[in-house]
Structure 1
Amino acid sequence: MAEVRAVCVVEQLLHDSGVVGVTAIDKRPVEKRLRVRPLGLHGDVQANRKHHGGASKAVYAYAEEDAAFWAEELGRDIPAGLFGENLRTSGIDVNGAEIGERWAIGDELVLEVTCPRTPCSTFQRRMREPHWVKRFADEGRPGAYLSVVKSGSVGAGDEIRVVSRPGHGVTIASWFSGADAAQAETLERAEKEGRVHLAREMREAIEKIRSRPLLAIDK
């Protein structure tokens, strides 16, 4: 059974040398159930709202299976929340989720997969691993951002059920590791057909691909 292993929200704002001066990446598990509304989990915050949070990035999910991979690679524990995730999951292929896929969690909550996480310098400072951003990106296990389709509560142990897939085949992993004109066209076609509603971040990424010089466009 796919389930939520841990629910995490910010423990404290930490000093950070980035432009904002603080970071809310320090997420830690909570025991109680939390309400999830369109902008995220009750009690959670984002320090840099230009790149984090908002309706299309209300919830960040990372798989226990991928955390276990990194634990072995790095020779250290990767406890729930270390990557800044809100939900640590198990039994569901987070990176294999299609853009626009919907998950029902527990009795009420419904989330929609919107886009992959892009690693940043704050994440690298958090991990204190050499070349972490590149290493994380090269491995292709970014985890997924999700929007809130239906508000509800969430707690550790809640079952996760995939209730719909758009069927276009563009996944979190495929877009993160190889976003190209072909995938962009596939997503735009799926949106025109009413199978998916693309988040702002995806639209902006598609526009960047469209604006590449002709020779740089993937065939």
Structure 2
Amino acid sequence: MTASDARAGQVDRRRLLRGMGGALLLPLLPGCGFGPEPLPDPWRPGSRLDAVVPTIDPYLDITNTNTGDRVALRFFDGRAYDRRAIRQLDWVFRDWRQNRSPEIDPRIYWALAALADAARRDGHSGQISLLSGYRTKRTNRMLQRKGAGAASNSYHTRRRAADIRLDGIPSEQVSDYAEWLQIGGVGWYAGSNFTHIDSGPIRTWSA
């Protein structure tokens, strides 16, 4: 067992229940379908995120801290994706150095919506600061040369990751809730005060 596994296992779920308020009170709906437009792979039936998707408000208020771009919108209307909203989100998540904005894995948007919805239920704004979204391989190599901690196989280069801060919520608490949701990969970066999430295999770490 790794240190991060031990930390995750020691999380006080009652504290999370209090800290993220109504989020953990969302009803779990195992096996519940979700409209006519299925979410693409890698969607993992049985995860807590999948279970609560039907109860999440798919509203995101996100600011890219590098560009200042901000969007506040609802990307799903209860039946289908709002393609214009998705394109706007993809633009905010773009590699701003290379001006590339491919389609981001929608699971990332649902994960962020779950976190933001939980924050709003607890009386916070739910506003998200995006530190890093999509990266081209060229940008990723540049960050590696600078010693910025970018992994060679980063999920950022696969359109499946986000580094975030959530207004008013300590990064450790954001990470704990993301772990509980079984989003995929969750990294807590205490020194830089941000949380990494990705839609890869379920795993956790801290730095």
Normalising to structure 1: TM-score of the pair? 0.30
Radius of gyration: which is bigger? Answer: 1
Of Structure 1 and Structure 2, the greater helix share is in 2
Tell which has more relative contact order, 1 or 2 (C-alpha 8 A, sep 6+): 1
Normalising to structure 2: TM-score of the pair? 0.31
Of Structure 1 and Structure 2, the greater strand share is in 1
